[in-house]
Amino acid sequence: MIEADDFLNPAKALGYDFYCGVPCSFLTPFINTTITSPTLDYVAATSEGEAVAIAAGAWLAGRKTVVMCQNSGLGNAVNPLTSLNYPFQIPTLLITTLRGAPGLADEPQHELMGRITHQMLDVMEIPHADFPSDKRDIEKALNTADQSMQKSGLPYAFTMAKGSVADGTGQPQASRSLPAGRIHDFTDASPLPSRMAALERLLAHAPQSAALIATTGKSGRELFTLADRPQHLYQVGSMGCAAAMGLGVALNTPRKTIVIDGDGALLMKMGSLATIGSCAPENLIHVVMDNASYDSTGGQPTVSPGVDFAQIAASCGYLHGYTCNALSGFEKALTQALSRPGPHLVHLKIAPGSARNLGRPTVKPPAVARRFRDFLASKPANDQSN
């Protein structure tokens, strides 16, 4: 058994100082120490998959990251681990507990996952080792993990058994309550614009120094068709993770960070709205282009016609929510969002459909990630529109 700081301090010496996760009782002293540490950053995610995406964004912004979760929640992280971290080659140190391990009396919901946790990591091609519960083993274990991630550009996992970390005395403070944000209605009787037209207008207003993250599907493909630039990140797969990745970026760079989301994608991980509201990044602008359909898979309807994304975001702590259904209103929303602190959510209703014979990004995901990371690390240019 070790103390939490026995691991956290040498991990920090290697550069691991950004933590994100979802609690587990096995992790209690570890997470609580991380939360209360003055030298570490911790983001409480609403799901394990969201935590992986937040960490991915933080890595893009230059941080070395750790994701902590219960093994029963590892299933929630499978999608981004395999369709975000793997294709983009984004490393993170994953610490997952071993609830329901063979021979351990535990709750029935952990029985199966306890037997298959290691097999799941093997299937996902994530190297893994036992979490070091002896102080003498920590430095070697961390160096092995760090070297693996540097070589592969992919995650590495520690599996934590019960009682690995001694109970601590730190008790995190309760989350602060947030006032509802302001709603701005810029809707009118104009016909709905196309997504391509909306993206053109967004590019015309976005500062050259801004970072843009487009959700998977037609959004990224159309953005690439209009303009391929180092500050563009085109997500492939990992549906619903764009907002969480944008949060990880925004918390770690002074640049304006613009997330281009879709209604279907945001509906998949709406918990991200609460996390963003709680973290309150002033430089984040979250644009939701809502065509009430899953456009990339044949136009099947979503449930977005009954959802007020701007109002939900404002209720979750976003400072401003904007609703619009035309390019003129979209321009007003963008102008205001770019001129004052956020976070902001701009809900734009758009027409279904996309450009015919639409191509796909020709830059491979690892290159997209690394040039984006290099862009974030560079000195920001003057905030001028394109």
Check pLDDT > 90 for residue 384.
no
Q: How many residues does the chain have?
A: 386
Beta-strand ranges (E) seen in 305-375 are: 320-324, 344-349
Check pLDDT > 50 for residue 227.
yes
pLDDT at residue 386, as a whole number: 44
The mean pLDDT of 24-53, rounded to a whole number, is 94
Confidence (pTM): 0.95
Does the domain formed by 182-377 have CATH 3.40.640.10? Answer: no
Residue 36: C-alpha distances to residues 14, 39, 90, 225 (Å): 20, 9, 27, 45
Check pLDDT > 90 for residue 291.
yes
Q: What confidence tens digit (pLDDT) does each residue in 114-133 have?
A: 999 999 999 999 999 999 99
Check pLDDT > 50 for residue 385.
no
The fraction of the chain above a pLDDT of 90, given in percent, is 85
Q: What gap in Å lies between CA 128 and CA 75, rounded to an integer? A: 16
Q: What confidence tens digit (pLDDT) does each residue in 149-169 have?
A: 999 999 999 999 999 998 876
pLDDT at residue 103, as a whole number: 86
Do residues 273 and 301 lie in contact, with contact meaning Cβ atoms separated by under 8 Å? no
Sign of CA dihedral 130, 135, 136, 138: positive
Check pLDDT > 90 for residue 95.
yes
pLDDT at residue 381, as a whole number: 63
Query: Between these two residues, 157 and 100, which has the higher pLDDT value?
Result: 157
Do residues 376 and 204 lie in contact, with contact meaning Cβ atoms separated by under 8 Å? no
Q: What confidence tens digit (pLDDT) does each residue in 308-332 have?
A: 999 999 999 999 999 999 999 999 9
pLDDT at residue 96, as a whole number: 97
Q: What confidence tens digit (pLDDT) does each residue in 244-288 have?
A: 999 999 999 999 999 999 999 999 999 999 999 999 999 999 999
Q: What confidence tens digit (pLDDT) does each residue in 2-19 have?
A: 999 999 999 999 999 999
- Interior angle at CA 200, CA 315 and CA 275, nearest 5: 25
pLDDT at residue 213, as a whole number: 98
pLDDT at residue 169, as a whole number: 63
Check pLDDT > 80 for residue 382.
no
Q: How confident is the prediction for the chain on average, in pLDDT?
A: 94
Do residues 222 and 354 lie in contact, with contact meaning Cβ atoms separated by under 8 Å? yes
Do residues 216 and 238 lie in contact, with contact meaning Cβ atoms separated by under 8 Å? yes
CATH number for the segment(s) 4-160: 3.40.50.970
Q: What gap in Å lies between CA 366 and CA 89, rounded to an integer? A: 6
Q: What confidence tens digit (pLDDT) does each residue in 167-180 have?
A: 876 677 777 777 78
Do residues 376 and 255 lie in contact, with contact meaning Cβ atoms separated by under 8 Å? yes
Q: How many helices (H) and strands (E) are present in the chain, helices listed first?
A: 15, 15
**What is the helix (H) or strand (E) element at residue 260, kind and residue range?**
strand 257-262
Strands 293-294 and 300-301 come out as: antiparallel
Check pLDDT > 90 for residue 98.
yes
Residue 94 pLDDT level (bands cut at 50, 70, 90): very high
Query: CATH 3.40.50.970 in the chain, residues?
Result: 4-160, 182-377
Residue 286, SS3?
strand
Residue 54, SS3?
helix
Q: Which two tokens stand for residue 305?
A: 């016609």
Q: Which two tokens stand for residue 116?
A: 């298959």
**What is the Cβ-side half-sphere exposure of residue 304, based on CA atoms within 13 angstroms?**
26
The mean pLDDT of 292-306, rounded to a whole number, is 89
pLDDT at residue 192, as a whole number: 96
